[in-house]
Amino acid sequence: MAWNQVAIVGAGLIPFGELFDMSYEAMIQQAYLRAIQSVDKGMDPEEIEAGWLGTCMGSMMGLEIPGGATVAGTIGLVDVPFTRIENGCPTGGDTFRNACLGVASGVYRVALVIGAEKMRDKPAGESLLGIAGQGHPVFTRGMLAPSMFAPQAIRHMHEFGTTKEQMALVAVKNHYNGSLDPYAHFKKPVTVEEVLKSPPVVYPLNLLDCCPQTDGAAALIICRADLARRYTDRPVYVAGFGVGCDYLYYTEKGSLTEFAATRRAAAQAYRMAGIGPEDIDVAEVHDCFTITEILNYEDLGFCPKGEGGRFIESGRPHLSQLGGTLPVNPSGGLLAKGHPLGATGIAQLAELYWHLREDPDVANRQARLNKGYALQHNVGGYGIAVSVVTILTNRL
Amino acid sequence: MSQVGLSGLGLYVPAHRVPVREIGQAWGAGGRGEKAVCGPDEDVVTMGVAAAEAALAAANRRPEEVDMLYFCTTSSPYVEQTCAALVAEVLGLRPEVVVQDLGGSTRCGTGGLIACVQGLQAGGGKVGLVVVADNRPAAPGSALERTLGAGAAALVVEAERPAAVIEGWACYGRFFPDRWRATGEAFVRGDYDPRFVRRHGYTEHLARAVETLAERVGDGAGDFRRYFFPLADERLPGETAGRLGIPRERVATDTFPRFGDLGSASALLQLAFAGGEPGDRVVLAGYGSGLADALALRFVHSLPVRPTPEGVDEGARRLSYAEYLRVQGLLATEGDYPLAVPPGSQTFWRGRGEILRLEAARCDRCGYVNFPPSTRTICIRCRHTGLSRVRLARTGRIHSFCINYYMPPGFESPLPYIVVDLDGGGRYQGMGTEFAGVRPEVGMPVELVLRRISRERGQSTYGYKVRPRLTAREG
């Protein structure tokens, strides 16, 4: 039996990219407007009773410790309780989960969930190195963001024979999907050869194995499930969610060929939704790097352990219109759409909301629906120690 | 005098070598031989630690047994701050041990040895440790650029079971400015008139010290089997031998063409490479600024030396002149990338056990080794609160790695970052060093070495890096 106590009734996002002319607040305002305007039967902003804001690294742009109040007033909701959630790269997903808990508690009937990140007010190279300044001053000195994934690639290649070509196929799939998504940062297909020839960033990852540094914002409107029909005849319900943790340091992690946090989060979400991986029609997973998506297939149960490289080769995670049976990242994923940290999870949920309702927003990449379940996934945070999985459904 | 002597010798020569001709060519000259230079993450502290650990292993002595430490260098990173206490901290000496920082001139190596012997004879303890390291900077284009090298040696000194007894010593000194480096100056200066300096500085004072020594131990100056003189240039040994009337071939010289002028560590490294047979009597000498020391050693049995001198060239890499200038820090950059927290701050102090000595916390209940211990006060596996301090192993194999291509100044670039499966269990993670030309591989044997990881606001910060394991040195 799925949880289904909360429904999504509105979704909106701004096109992701290098948005030098948009401030953090302006991005949030535009995403909020699109979300509220998307509600089928209309919604008066006065009906919003609480807000949750997901921003991971607000202080990267000089805004020290952004809080919920940073945005409440700027969107005309200064009367509303507003909280900021931060949990690494899964900030967006966890912000959504916390908002759902707030609505499910019965205290708030309707809530606004916003994810936003302004990454390009710093040079792209500095964001990459900014991660190197975190963690332990001696033991993790020298690590860049991809250094938290590249050793997993080396180990997966060593234990299962995964190849750089197989990793490149993930980038090819997602950059093609991004070319169909008007919100994507990159809208140009790439070839395997282009990926393999792109400059090395952190061996064995080349530039096109990595997601870009992106600005973006996304917003969702949620309400108690029994009130959903007031706003739409096609609500999408939250069937389940989970948050998994892991140790931060390589000295404490177990196997480097998986992200234990993802496994834990997925187990919780599947149990709460009362389903298994075979019931998922479409998924938006965390492909910050190509190798991450390969591990995600395994950690989320889409294929057996070690088979991730063969899974992408099989074509199964491609778009339905290309013969895929479990489209993964129809939006273009983090690789092509971008990864504005706090916005990513919210944007993934917006994409899945459109697929489950068969909205025109995704007509050119619609996933074929069988069971009516979709899965959203993030993994990351310092040390890649936290994961969020959310399962949505279009049926009660 | 009581039978105080040397029971172990540790040596360290950096892997980076510069052919002298390579330097000469940049200035329109030639050159012979090579010199050893510190890598970008090395200094007298890291070299001294490596030599000291090797000496203790050679002498089969534990750090807790050391009663006094003399750290001797003319090229400390600091005008005011101790290196001796930092070396003591890394080795794990008892806090009540007397530690001294000695310098002043390249004579300080033998000066420290004499002070240690005096300290032991005065009842200051049973085991002494003398650590000598130099890394003297030379101005580009100068004559000294072709000779000043880097290296370290350490001696365990005791009365209980010396391999080479110190039969006596003598000093002879009158102030004579031959080489110097003033506070705030970047490079060693000197040799205003090389012939004058050689004859009336080096040779005169060193010879008088040897003659005085010979009288004291009841011999002629020429009666020793071998003479270990500091090798400040290639002509000096010959001139001094002539002045003393000893056969030239008894003066050991082979470290100079291989490693250059190793300053205060020079004669000790010669001793390490030459060694001695039981019964041999040798002279160990030091010199700088007109001060000369000469010690007489008699070998009881062969002196344990670690690592084996034959393996000292394993992993050695020749640098171009441009690379040499970069690793010497002579090419201006924007400065090291800042540490995550400022050096000397609470994080470093609380974490000094794990950062400097690789201490971990083993659970008394389940045996799991928690690391780092300052942030793990509950066993992360079983939640037990009873934890005991242990040290991580220093050798292991690569479990996984990556190579970072875009690193700012202060890092090697490309930079390997390594996850190590430690021998005996557990893991370590950290920056790689000396991987140039070596592709890391899963399963490759590696070892953990102390290196400088940052210099910020004048303060050097040290930590363990991962280096390919050099097995030829282990003998």
Q: What are phi and psi of A12, to 5 degrees?
A: -160, 150
Interface contact B347-A137, CB threshold 8 A: yes
Q: Helix-strand-coil percent breakdown of chain A, rounded to 5?
A: 40, 20, 40
Cα B353 from Cα B350, distance rounded (Å)? 8
pLDDT band at residue A359 under the 50/70/90 scheme: very high
Of B429, B442, B453, the CB nearest to A250: B429
CA B114-B119-B125 angle, 5° bins: 135
Catalytic site positions of A: 89, 339
Mean confidence (pLDDT) of chain B: 94
Which residue type does B249 have? E
Interface contact B400-A256, CB threshold 8 A: yes
Per DSSP, the three-state class of B459 is strand
ipTM score of the complex? 0.91
Interface contact A203-B403, CB threshold 8 A: yes
Tell me: pLDDT of A62 over 60: no
- Averaged over B337-345, what is the pLDDT? 86
CA A15-A19-A25 angle, 5° bins: 90
Per DSSP, the three-state class of A95 is helix
With contacts defined as CB-CB under 8 Å, which chain B residues touch A295? none
pLDDT of residue B192: 80
Cα A140 from Cα A129, distance rounded (Å)? 12
- The contact set of A with B (CB < 8 A) is 125, 128-129, 132-144, 146-147, 150-155, 158, 199-205, 247, 249-252, 256
pLDDT digits (tens, 9 = 90+) for A206-246: 999 999 999 999 999 999 999 999 999 999 999 999 999 99
Q: What does each C-alpha distance from B449 to A318, B403, B461 come to in angstroms?
A: 48, 19, 14
pLDDT of residue A61: 52
Tell me: pLDDT of B191 over 80: no
Cα B467 from Cα B90, distance rounded (Å)? 18
Interface contact B403-A152, CB threshold 8 A: no
pLDDT of residue B378: 95
Q: A128 to chain B, minimum CA–CA distance in Å?
A: 9
Q: A208 to chain B, minimum CA–CA distance in Å?
A: 14
Tell me: pLDDT of A58 over 70: no
B463 near A CB under 8 A: yes
Interface contact A249-B348, CB threshold 8 A: no
Do the beta carbons of residue A178 and residue A186 sit within 8 Å?
yes
Do the beta carbons of residue B114 and residue B295 sit within 8 Å?
yes
pLDDT digits (tens, 9 = 90+) for B132-158: 999 999 999 999 999 999 999 999 999
Which structure tokens are listed for A47? Answer: 């009906």
Tell me: pLDDT of A63 over 70: no
- The lowest-confidence range among A187-201, A293-307, B401-415 is B401-415
Tell me: pLDDT of B333 over 80: no
Tell me: pLDDT of A60 over 50: no
Q: B411 to chain A, minimum CA–CA distance in Å?
A: 7
Mean confidence (pLDDT) of chain A: 95
pLDDT band at residue A57 under the 50/70/90 scheme: confident
Interface contact B401-A151, CB threshold 8 A: yes
The dihedral over CA atoms of A159, A160, A161, A163, expressed in degrees to the nearest 10, equals: -110
- Nearest residue in B to A150, CA atom: B402
B355 near A CB under 8 A: yes
Best of A134, A143, A251 to mutate (most B CBs within 10 Å, chain B) = A251
pLDDT of residue B1: 47
The dihedral over CA atoms of B29, B32, B35, B39, expressed in degrees to the nearest 10, equals: 60
B400 near A CB under 8 A: yes
Cα B273 from Cα B231, distance rounded (Å)? 14
- Nearest residue in A to B374, CA atom: A136
Cα B431 from Cα B418, distance rounded (Å)? 6
Tell me: pLDDT of B118 over 70: yes
